[in-house]
Chains A and B, each alone.
Chain A
Amino acid sequence: MSPIKPTGGFIPRDRNWQPDALTPPYKTSVKRSPQAALLSFPSTLSEETSPVFGHNILGELDNDLILNYAQAGESAIGPRIIVHGRVLDENGRGVPGALVEFWQANAGGRYRHKKEAYQAALDPNFGGCGRTITAEDGSYEFRTIQPGPYPWPNGMNDWRPAHIHFSVFGHGFAQRLITQMYFEGDPHIKLCPIVGVLKSQEAVDALTALLDMNRTVPMDSRAFKFDIVLRGQRQTYFENRKEGL
Protein backbone atom coordinates (compact mmCIF):
# COMPACT_ATOMS: atom_id res chain seq x y z
CA MET A 1 0.00 0.00 0.00
CA SER A 2 1.48 3.33 -1.00
CA PRO A 3 1.75 6.02 1.69
CA ILE A 4 -1.12 8.47 1.75
CA LYS A 5 -0.29 12.06 2.53
CA PRO A 6 -2.69 13.95 4.78
CA THR A 7 -4.90 16.12 2.64
CA GLY A 8 -6.59 18.44 5.07
CA GLY A 9 -9.14 16.26 6.65
CA PHE A 10 -12.31 14.58 5.65
CA ILE A 11 -15.52 15.75 4.10
CA PRO A 12 -17.69 16.69 7.09
CA ARG A 13 -20.00 13.93 8.19
CA ASP A 14 -23.58 14.64 7.03
CA ARG A 15 -25.46 14.33 10.29
CA ASN A 16 -28.76 14.98 8.53
CA TRP A 17 -28.12 11.69 6.75
CA GLN A 18 -26.57 9.69 9.58
CA PRO A 19 -28.93 8.52 12.35
CA ASP A 20 -29.49 10.74 15.38
CA ALA A 21 -28.23 9.62 18.79
CA LEU A 22 -31.67 9.79 20.40
CA THR A 23 -34.14 7.49 18.62
CA PRO A 24 -36.79 6.50 21.23
CA PRO A 25 -38.40 3.59 19.34
CA TYR A 26 -34.97 1.94 19.73
CA LYS A 27 -35.30 2.02 23.51
CA THR A 28 -31.68 1.56 24.57
CA SER A 29 -30.78 4.79 22.76
CA VAL A 30 -32.81 6.86 25.25
CA LYS A 31 -30.25 6.68 28.07
CA ARG A 32 -27.23 6.15 25.82
CA SER A 33 -27.50 9.33 23.74
CA PRO A 34 -25.59 12.54 24.54
CA GLN A 35 -27.80 15.57 25.10
CA ALA A 36 -25.24 18.32 24.60
CA ALA A 37 -24.29 19.39 21.09
CA LEU A 38 -21.21 17.79 19.59
CA LEU A 39 -18.11 19.98 19.47
CA SER A 40 -16.85 20.61 15.94
CA PHE A 41 -13.24 21.43 15.14
CA PRO A 42 -10.87 21.10 12.18
CA SER A 43 -9.42 17.64 11.97
CA THR A 44 -5.79 17.14 12.95
CA LEU A 45 -3.29 14.34 12.49
CA SER A 46 -5.03 12.54 15.36
CA GLU A 47 -8.09 12.08 13.15
CA GLU A 48 -6.35 11.95 9.75
CA THR A 49 -4.12 9.01 10.63
CA SER A 50 -5.18 5.44 11.35
CA PRO A 51 -3.61 2.13 12.30
CA VAL A 52 -2.29 -0.09 9.51
CA PHE A 53 -3.29 -3.74 9.38
CA GLY A 54 -1.17 -5.99 7.21
CA HIS A 55 -2.31 -9.12 5.43
CA ASN A 56 0.00 -11.02 7.79
CA ILE A 57 -2.68 -10.83 10.51
CA LEU A 58 -5.05 -12.90 8.38
CA GLY A 59 -5.43 -16.64 8.66
CA GLU A 60 -6.34 -18.71 5.62
CA LEU A 61 -10.00 -19.15 6.66
CA ASP A 62 -10.60 -15.74 8.24
CA ASN A 63 -12.97 -14.83 5.39
CA ASP A 64 -14.75 -18.19 5.29
CA LEU A 65 -17.36 -18.46 8.04
CA ILE A 66 -18.62 -21.75 6.64
CA LEU A 67 -15.33 -23.39 7.58
CA ASN A 68 -13.44 -21.20 10.06
CA TYR A 69 -15.13 -22.66 13.15
CA ALA A 70 -16.04 -26.06 11.70
CA GLN A 71 -14.63 -29.42 12.74
CA ALA A 72 -12.53 -31.12 10.10
CA GLY A 73 -14.81 -32.42 7.36
CA GLU A 74 -17.82 -30.48 8.67
CA SER A 75 -19.34 -27.15 7.66
CA ALA A 76 -21.87 -24.63 8.96
CA ILE A 77 -25.59 -25.30 8.33
CA GLY A 78 -27.60 -22.76 6.37
CA PRO A 79 -27.99 -21.12 2.95
CA ARG A 80 -24.48 -20.77 1.56
CA ILE A 81 -23.71 -17.26 0.32
CA ILE A 82 -20.84 -15.09 -0.84
CA VAL A 83 -20.88 -11.47 0.30
CA HIS A 84 -18.72 -9.19 -1.78
CA GLY A 85 -18.34 -5.55 -2.69
CA ARG A 86 -15.99 -2.61 -2.46
CA VAL A 87 -15.01 -0.19 0.25
CA LEU A 88 -15.14 3.23 -1.42
CA ASP A 89 -14.80 6.80 -0.26
CA GLU A 90 -17.30 9.56 -1.00
CA ASN A 91 -15.23 10.54 -4.05
CA GLY A 92 -15.86 7.08 -5.48
CA ARG A 93 -12.30 5.87 -5.04
CA GLY A 94 -11.59 2.37 -3.76
CA VAL A 95 -10.04 2.23 -0.28
CA PRO A 96 -7.21 -0.33 -0.33
CA GLY A 97 -5.76 -1.98 2.75
CA ALA A 98 -8.91 -1.44 4.83
CA LEU A 99 -9.57 -3.93 7.62
CA VAL A 100 -13.17 -5.17 7.39
CA GLU A 101 -14.54 -7.26 10.26
CA PHE A 102 -17.97 -8.91 10.20
CA TRP A 103 -20.10 -10.87 12.62
CA GLN A 104 -23.54 -12.44 12.55
CA ALA A 105 -25.98 -14.96 14.03
CA ASN A 106 -26.29 -18.47 12.64
CA ALA A 107 -29.02 -19.66 10.26
CA GLY A 108 -31.49 -19.88 13.17
CA GLY A 109 -30.79 -16.38 14.45
CA ARG A 110 -28.62 -17.54 17.37
CA TYR A 111 -25.42 -15.70 18.26
CA ARG A 112 -22.45 -17.46 19.79
CA HIS A 113 -22.06 -15.14 22.80
CA LYS A 114 -21.97 -15.67 26.55
CA LYS A 115 -24.81 -13.23 27.19
CA GLU A 116 -27.13 -14.62 24.49
CA ALA A 117 -30.06 -16.79 25.59
CA TYR A 118 -32.32 -17.23 22.55
CA GLN A 119 -33.68 -20.78 22.42
CA ALA A 120 -32.66 -21.41 18.80
CA ALA A 121 -29.80 -23.89 18.81
CA LEU A 122 -26.15 -23.10 18.32
CA ASP A 123 -24.52 -24.65 15.28
CA PRO A 124 -21.44 -26.50 16.55
CA ASN A 125 -19.69 -25.73 13.27
CA PHE A 126 -20.44 -22.00 13.13
CA GLY A 127 -18.62 -19.28 15.10
CA GLY A 128 -20.02 -16.21 13.38
CA CYS A 129 -17.04 -13.93 12.83
CA GLY A 130 -14.69 -13.20 9.99
CA ARG A 131 -12.38 -10.52 8.67
CA THR A 132 -10.48 -9.50 5.59
CA ILE A 133 -8.41 -6.64 4.17
CA THR A 134 -9.47 -4.86 0.99
CA ALA A 135 -7.45 -5.29 -2.21
CA GLU A 136 -5.84 -2.47 -4.22
CA ASP A 137 -9.21 -1.56 -5.78
CA GLY A 138 -10.99 -1.63 -2.40
CA SER A 139 -12.73 -4.93 -3.08
CA TYR A 140 -13.43 -7.60 -0.48
CA GLU A 141 -15.36 -10.84 -0.25
CA PHE A 142 -16.20 -13.56 2.22
CA ARG A 143 -18.18 -16.78 2.36
CA THR A 144 -20.80 -17.48 5.01
CA ILE A 145 -24.31 -18.78 5.63
CA GLN A 146 -27.28 -16.43 5.49
CA PRO A 147 -28.17 -15.45 9.09
CA GLY A 148 -31.70 -15.92 10.41
CA PRO A 149 -33.99 -13.22 11.86
CA TYR A 150 -33.72 -12.79 15.58
CA PRO A 151 -36.17 -11.68 18.33
CA TRP A 152 -35.04 -9.03 20.81
CA PRO A 153 -36.48 -7.42 23.91
CA ASN A 154 -37.45 -3.96 22.66
CA GLY A 155 -41.13 -3.88 21.79
CA MET A 156 -43.22 -6.93 22.74
CA ASN A 157 -42.73 -8.58 19.35
CA ASP A 158 -39.68 -7.06 17.70
CA TRP A 159 -37.53 -9.11 15.35
CA ARG A 160 -34.31 -8.04 13.69
CA PRO A 161 -34.16 -8.60 9.93
CA ALA A 162 -31.47 -11.00 8.81
CA HIS A 163 -28.31 -8.92 9.04
CA ILE A 164 -24.53 -8.99 9.12
CA HIS A 165 -22.60 -6.46 11.22
CA PHE A 166 -19.61 -4.70 9.63
CA SER A 167 -16.73 -2.81 11.24
CA VAL A 168 -14.47 -0.88 8.83
CA PHE A 169 -11.20 1.03 9.18
CA GLY A 170 -10.20 3.59 6.55
CA HIS A 171 -7.02 5.63 6.30
CA GLY A 172 -8.02 8.10 9.02
CA PHE A 173 -9.56 7.39 12.39
CA ALA A 174 -12.31 9.91 11.50
CA GLN A 175 -13.51 7.36 8.92
CA ARG A 176 -14.09 4.64 11.51
CA LEU A 177 -17.49 3.07 10.89
CA ILE A 178 -19.68 0.26 12.20
CA THR A 179 -22.86 -0.61 10.33
CA GLN A 180 -25.17 -3.47 9.38
CA MET A 181 -25.99 -5.12 6.06
CA TYR A 182 -29.53 -6.26 5.27
CA PHE A 183 -30.82 -8.58 2.55
CA GLU A 184 -32.97 -7.50 -0.39
CA GLY A 185 -36.64 -8.36 0.04
CA ASP A 186 -36.65 -9.09 3.80
CA PRO A 187 -40.12 -8.07 5.13
CA HIS A 188 -38.64 -7.33 8.58
CA ILE A 189 -36.60 -4.39 7.24
CA LYS A 190 -39.52 -1.98 7.32
CA LEU A 191 -40.67 -3.14 10.78
CA CYS A 192 -37.33 -2.87 12.62
CA PRO A 193 -36.74 0.01 15.10
CA ILE A 194 -32.98 -0.17 14.50
CA VAL A 195 -33.41 0.11 10.72
CA GLY A 196 -35.97 2.79 11.66
CA VAL A 197 -33.25 5.10 13.01
CA LEU A 198 -32.28 5.65 9.36
CA LYS A 199 -33.84 8.85 8.07
CA SER A 200 -34.78 7.96 4.51
CA GLN A 201 -35.58 5.07 2.24
CA GLU A 202 -32.37 5.99 0.40
CA ALA A 203 -30.41 5.37 3.59
CA VAL A 204 -32.14 2.01 4.12
CA ASP A 205 -31.37 1.08 0.51
CA ALA A 206 -27.70 1.97 1.08
CA LEU A 207 -27.52 -0.83 3.67
CA THR A 208 -29.53 -3.40 1.70
CA ALA A 209 -27.48 -5.89 -0.28
CA LEU A 210 -28.80 -7.08 -3.63
CA LEU A 211 -28.83 -10.66 -4.81
CA ASP A 212 -26.00 -10.87 -7.33
CA MET A 213 -26.61 -13.78 -9.68
CA ASN A 214 -23.49 -12.89 -11.68
CA ARG A 215 -21.32 -13.84 -8.73
CA THR A 216 -23.17 -16.95 -7.56
CA VAL A 217 -21.34 -20.23 -7.85
CA PRO A 218 -23.70 -22.65 -9.60
CA MET A 219 -24.69 -25.64 -7.48
CA ASP A 220 -22.75 -24.13 -4.54
CA SER A 221 -23.46 -20.59 -3.23
CA ARG A 222 -25.62 -17.58 -3.98
CA ALA A 223 -24.02 -14.12 -3.80
CA PHE A 224 -24.97 -10.71 -2.40
CA LYS A 225 -23.24 -7.44 -3.24
CA PHE A 226 -22.63 -4.85 -0.52
CA ASP A 227 -20.57 -1.69 -1.11
CA ILE A 228 -19.46 0.36 1.88
CA VAL A 229 -18.74 4.09 1.59
CA LEU A 230 -16.36 5.85 3.99
CA ARG A 231 -15.87 9.58 4.32
CA GLY A 232 -13.88 11.17 1.51
CA GLN A 233 -10.74 13.22 1.93
CA ARG A 234 -10.84 16.92 1.13
CA GLN A 235 -8.22 18.72 -0.90
CA THR A 236 -6.57 21.66 0.85
CA TYR A 237 -4.85 23.87 -1.66
CA PHE A 238 -5.93 26.99 0.17
CA GLU A 239 -5.41 26.01 3.76
CA ASN A 240 -2.82 27.55 6.07
CA ARG A 241 -0.99 24.27 6.49
CA LYS A 242 2.75 24.19 6.93
CA GLU A 243 4.75 21.93 4.66
CA GLY A 244 4.91 18.43 6.07
CA LEU A 245 2.13 18.83 8.61
Chain B
Amino acid sequence: MTQRLDYLKESPSQTAGPYVHIGCTPNFTGIDIYGGDLGTSMKTGPVKGQEITIRGIVYDGTGTPMRDAMIEIWQPDAAGLFASANETRGQADPNFTGWGRSPGDMNTGEFTFETVKPGAVPFPDGRMQAPHITAWIVARGINLGLHTRIYFADEPEANAADPILTRIEHQNRIPTLLAEKTADGSYRFDVHLQGPSETIFFDI
Protein backbone atom coordinates (compact mmCIF):
# COMPACT_ATOMS: atom_id res chain seq x y z
CA MET B 1 0.00 0.00 0.00
CA THR B 2 1.12 3.50 -0.74
CA GLN B 3 0.35 6.44 1.53
CA ARG B 4 -2.87 8.35 1.00
CA LEU B 5 -3.08 12.00 -0.05
CA ASP B 6 -6.00 12.60 2.32
CA TYR B 7 -7.63 15.45 0.45
CA LEU B 8 -11.39 15.73 0.77
CA LYS B 9 -13.53 15.65 -2.36
CA GLU B 10 -15.51 18.77 -3.22
CA SER B 11 -19.20 18.25 -2.43
CA PRO B 12 -20.93 17.12 -5.62
CA SER B 13 -23.19 19.74 -7.14
CA GLN B 14 -26.91 19.24 -7.68
CA THR B 15 -29.35 21.36 -9.63
CA ALA B 16 -30.77 24.45 -7.91
CA GLY B 17 -34.19 23.22 -9.08
CA PRO B 18 -37.25 25.27 -10.05
CA TYR B 19 -37.75 26.73 -6.58
CA VAL B 20 -34.30 28.22 -6.04
CA HIS B 21 -36.08 31.52 -5.34
CA ILE B 22 -37.40 30.22 -2.02
CA GLY B 23 -33.88 30.05 -0.66
CA CYS B 24 -32.05 32.76 -2.58
CA THR B 25 -34.65 35.41 -3.38
CA PRO B 26 -37.55 34.57 -1.02
CA ASN B 27 -39.15 38.01 -1.23
CA PHE B 28 -39.38 37.56 -4.99
CA THR B 29 -41.71 34.60 -4.45
CA GLY B 30 -43.65 36.22 -1.63
CA ILE B 31 -41.84 34.93 1.46
CA ASP B 32 -40.99 37.93 3.61
CA ILE B 33 -38.71 36.63 6.33
CA TYR B 34 -35.49 38.57 5.77
CA GLY B 35 -36.94 41.98 4.94
CA GLY B 36 -35.30 42.03 1.51
CA ASP B 37 -33.46 39.83 -0.98
CA LEU B 38 -29.66 39.73 -0.97
CA GLY B 39 -28.02 41.04 -4.13
CA THR B 40 -31.01 43.07 -5.30
CA SER B 41 -29.01 46.26 -5.01
CA MET B 42 -25.28 46.50 -5.63
CA LYS B 43 -25.08 50.08 -4.39
CA THR B 44 -25.32 51.19 -0.78
CA GLY B 45 -24.77 54.87 -1.53
CA PRO B 46 -23.34 57.14 -4.23
CA VAL B 47 -20.86 55.11 -6.28
CA LYS B 48 -17.77 56.11 -8.24
CA GLY B 49 -17.59 55.50 -11.97
CA GLN B 50 -20.09 55.05 -14.76
CA GLU B 51 -23.42 53.60 -13.63
CA ILE B 52 -24.77 51.07 -16.11
CA THR B 53 -27.68 48.68 -16.51
CA ILE B 54 -27.22 45.20 -17.93
CA ARG B 55 -30.25 43.28 -19.14
CA GLY B 56 -30.49 39.87 -20.75
CA ILE B 57 -32.29 36.58 -21.05
CA VAL B 58 -31.00 33.04 -20.63
CA TYR B 59 -32.16 30.82 -23.52
CA ASP B 60 -32.28 27.03 -23.62
CA GLY B 61 -31.25 24.89 -26.60
CA THR B 62 -34.61 25.38 -28.33
CA GLY B 63 -34.37 29.18 -28.12
CA THR B 64 -36.97 29.37 -25.37
CA PRO B 65 -36.35 31.98 -22.64
CA MET B 66 -35.70 30.35 -19.29
CA ARG B 67 -38.01 31.80 -16.68
CA ASP B 68 -36.53 29.96 -13.71
CA ALA B 69 -32.80 30.70 -13.95
CA MET B 70 -30.93 32.62 -11.26
CA ILE B 71 -27.95 34.70 -12.29
CA GLU B 72 -25.28 36.09 -10.00
CA ILE B 73 -22.59 38.53 -11.04
CA TRP B 74 -19.33 39.45 -9.32
CA GLN B 75 -17.10 42.31 -10.37
CA PRO B 76 -14.65 44.97 -9.21
CA ASP B 77 -15.54 48.61 -8.77
CA ALA B 78 -14.76 51.32 -11.32
CA ALA B 79 -11.13 51.36 -10.16
CA GLY B 80 -10.72 47.60 -10.59
CA LEU B 81 -10.84 46.79 -6.86
CA PHE B 82 -12.98 44.05 -5.31
CA ALA B 83 -15.08 44.49 -2.18
CA SER B 84 -13.60 41.23 -0.89
CA ALA B 85 -11.64 40.08 2.14
CA ASN B 86 -9.07 38.79 -0.37
CA GLU B 87 -8.48 42.23 -1.92
CA THR B 88 -4.96 43.32 -0.98
CA ARG B 89 -4.36 46.09 -3.53
CA GLY B 90 -6.42 48.83 -1.92
CA GLN B 91 -9.80 49.82 -0.56
CA ALA B 92 -12.71 49.23 -2.90
CA ASP B 93 -15.55 51.75 -3.22
CA PRO B 94 -17.34 51.35 0.14
CA ASN B 95 -20.72 52.03 -1.51
CA PHE B 96 -20.42 49.25 -4.06
CA THR B 97 -20.84 45.56 -3.14
CA GLY B 98 -19.65 44.12 -6.46
CA TRP B 99 -22.14 41.27 -6.13
CA GLY B 100 -25.59 41.05 -7.64
CA ARG B 101 -28.22 38.35 -7.84
CA SER B 102 -31.23 38.34 -10.18
CA PRO B 103 -33.98 35.74 -10.53
CA GLY B 104 -35.14 37.18 -13.83
CA ASP B 105 -38.69 38.23 -14.54
CA MET B 106 -41.11 35.39 -13.72
CA ASN B 107 -42.93 35.87 -17.07
CA THR B 108 -40.24 36.96 -19.53
CA GLY B 109 -37.12 35.60 -17.83
CA GLU B 110 -35.30 38.92 -18.31
CA PHE B 111 -32.70 39.69 -15.67
CA THR B 112 -31.51 43.19 -14.78
CA PHE B 113 -28.43 44.43 -12.95
CA GLU B 114 -27.96 48.04 -11.95
CA THR B 115 -24.21 48.26 -11.52
CA VAL B 116 -21.10 50.22 -12.53
CA LYS B 117 -18.77 49.58 -15.43
CA PRO B 118 -15.88 47.62 -13.92
CA GLY B 119 -12.29 48.78 -13.99
CA ALA B 120 -9.52 46.57 -15.34
CA VAL B 121 -7.99 43.82 -13.21
CA PRO B 122 -4.56 42.22 -13.74
CA PHE B 123 -4.01 38.68 -14.97
CA PRO B 124 -1.65 36.61 -12.77
CA ASP B 125 1.31 37.43 -15.06
CA GLY B 126 0.76 41.18 -14.67
CA ARG B 127 -0.90 41.91 -18.01
CA MET B 128 -4.18 43.77 -17.72
CA GLN B 129 -7.46 42.05 -18.48
CA ALA B 130 -10.21 43.88 -20.32
CA PRO B 131 -13.06 45.11 -18.12
CA HIS B 132 -15.32 42.15 -17.38
CA ILE B 133 -17.90 40.80 -14.99
CA THR B 134 -18.00 37.21 -13.76
CA ALA B 135 -21.43 35.61 -14.19
CA TRP B 136 -22.74 32.39 -12.67
CA ILE B 137 -25.94 30.73 -13.82
CA VAL B 138 -28.01 28.07 -12.08
CA ALA B 139 -31.46 26.70 -12.89
CA ARG B 140 -33.63 23.64 -13.09
CA GLY B 141 -31.87 21.29 -15.53
CA ILE B 142 -28.38 22.70 -14.83
CA ASN B 143 -26.50 20.14 -12.74
CA LEU B 144 -23.47 22.32 -11.99
CA GLY B 145 -23.50 26.14 -12.02
CA LEU B 146 -22.17 27.64 -15.26
CA HIS B 147 -19.44 30.29 -15.14
CA THR B 148 -19.06 32.83 -17.90
CA ARG B 149 -17.80 36.40 -18.32
CA ILE B 150 -19.47 39.57 -19.51
CA TYR B 151 -17.09 41.75 -21.56
CA PHE B 152 -18.11 45.00 -23.26
CA ALA B 153 -18.40 45.36 -27.03
CA ASP B 154 -17.48 49.05 -26.73
CA GLU B 155 -14.02 48.20 -25.35
CA PRO B 156 -12.48 46.82 -28.58
CA GLU B 157 -8.89 47.75 -27.78
CA ALA B 158 -8.90 46.26 -24.30
CA ASN B 159 -10.71 43.16 -25.56
CA ALA B 160 -8.13 42.69 -28.32
CA ALA B 161 -5.40 42.56 -25.67
CA ASP B 162 -7.27 40.49 -23.08
CA PRO B 163 -5.19 37.46 -21.99
CA ILE B 164 -8.21 35.17 -22.00
CA LEU B 165 -10.09 36.39 -25.07
CA THR B 166 -6.92 36.19 -27.15
CA ARG B 167 -6.31 32.54 -26.29
CA ILE B 168 -9.75 31.37 -27.39
CA GLU B 169 -9.28 29.14 -30.42
CA HIS B 170 -12.73 29.80 -31.89
CA GLN B 171 -12.52 33.57 -32.21
CA ASN B 172 -15.92 33.59 -33.93
CA ARG B 173 -17.47 32.68 -30.57
CA ILE B 174 -16.11 35.76 -28.77
CA PRO B 175 -19.23 37.86 -29.51
CA THR B 176 -21.13 35.49 -27.18
CA LEU B 177 -19.16 37.10 -24.32
CA LEU B 178 -19.75 40.71 -25.34
CA ALA B 179 -22.46 42.89 -23.85
CA GLU B 180 -23.79 45.15 -26.61
CA LYS B 181 -24.47 48.79 -25.87
CA THR B 182 -28.17 49.54 -26.50
CA ALA B 183 -28.25 53.12 -25.20
CA ASP B 184 -26.10 55.35 -23.03
CA GLY B 185 -25.39 53.33 -19.92
CA SER B 186 -27.43 50.33 -21.10
CA TYR B 187 -26.10 46.98 -22.23
CA ARG B 188 -27.64 43.71 -23.38
CA PHE B 189 -26.09 40.35 -22.55
CA ASP B 190 -28.11 37.29 -23.57
CA VAL B 191 -26.96 33.79 -22.66
CA HIS B 192 -27.50 30.77 -24.90
CA LEU B 193 -26.98 27.49 -23.11
CA GLN B 194 -26.81 25.37 -26.22
CA GLY B 195 -26.79 25.52 -30.01
CA PRO B 196 -25.19 27.59 -32.78
CA SER B 197 -24.85 30.77 -30.69
CA GLU B 198 -23.88 28.92 -27.51
CA THR B 199 -22.22 31.17 -24.94
CA ILE B 200 -18.66 30.30 -23.97
CA PHE B 201 -18.62 28.77 -20.49
CA PHE B 202 -15.50 28.49 -18.38
CA ASP B 203 -13.87 25.83 -16.27
CA ILE B 204 -12.33 28.09 -13.67
Contacts and interface: CB of A to CB of B under 8 A. Distances in A.
Interface of A: 1, 3-6, 8-9, 11-15, 17-21, 23, 26, 28-36, 38-53, 57, 59, 61-62, 68-69, 88-92, 97, 101-103, 111-116, 127-129, 131, 165, 167, 171-174, 176-180, 194-195, 197-198, 202-203, 206-207, 228-232, 239-242, 244-245
Contacts of A131: 23, 34
B85 A229 contact: no
Contacts of A48: 86
Given A6-B88, A240-B124, 13 more contacts: A18-B10, A26-B143, A29-B141, A41-B164, A43-B124, A44-B121, A44-B129, A50-B84, A90-B10, A92-B6, A103-B24, A171-B86, A179-B11
A198 B29 CA distance: 29
10 contacts: A17-B10, A30-B61, A35-B198, A49-B84, A91-B8, A115-B19, A129-B23, A165-B17, A180-B14, A241-B125
B61 A31 contact: yes
Given A178-B13, A232-B7, A38 B203 contact: yes
B33 interface: yes
B91 interface: no
Nearest to A200: B12
Contacts of A171: 85-86
A130 B200 CA distance: 33
Given A62-B34, A240-B125, A230 B11 contact: yes
Nearest to B31: A127
Contact of A36 (B125, B143, B147, B198): B198
B160 interface: no
B9 A32 contact: no
B110 interface: no
With a 10 A CB-CB cut-off, give which of B26, B72, B129, B149 has the most chain A CB atoms: B26
Contacts of B12: 17-19, 179, 198, 203, 206-207
A47 B134 contact: yes
Nearest to A114: B29
B88 A34 contact: no
Q: Among B7, B11, B29, B121, find the residue whose CB has the most chain A CB atoms closer than 10 A.
A: B11
Contacts, number: 290
A11 B5 CA distance: 14
Interface in B35-60: 35, 38, 60
Contacts of B1: none
B54 to A, nearest CB: 16
Contacts of B26: 103, 127, 129
A43 B204 CA distance: 6
A41 B124 CA distance: 11
B4 interface: no
A69 B33 contact: yes
B33 A129 contact: yes
Interface in B158-174: 163-164, 167-168, 173
A39 B62 contact: no
A178 B22 CA distance: 14
Contacts of A202: 9
Contact of B136 (A33, A41, A176): A176
- Which A-B residue pairs are the 3 nearest by beta carbons? A103-B23, A28-B141, A32-B141
Nearest to B62: A31
B126 A242 contact: yes
Contact of A31 (B60, B173, B204): B60
B19 A26 contact: no
A32 B145 CA distance: 11
A41 B31 contact: no
Contacts of B64: 31
A51 B138 contact: no
Contacts of A177: 10-11, 13, 145
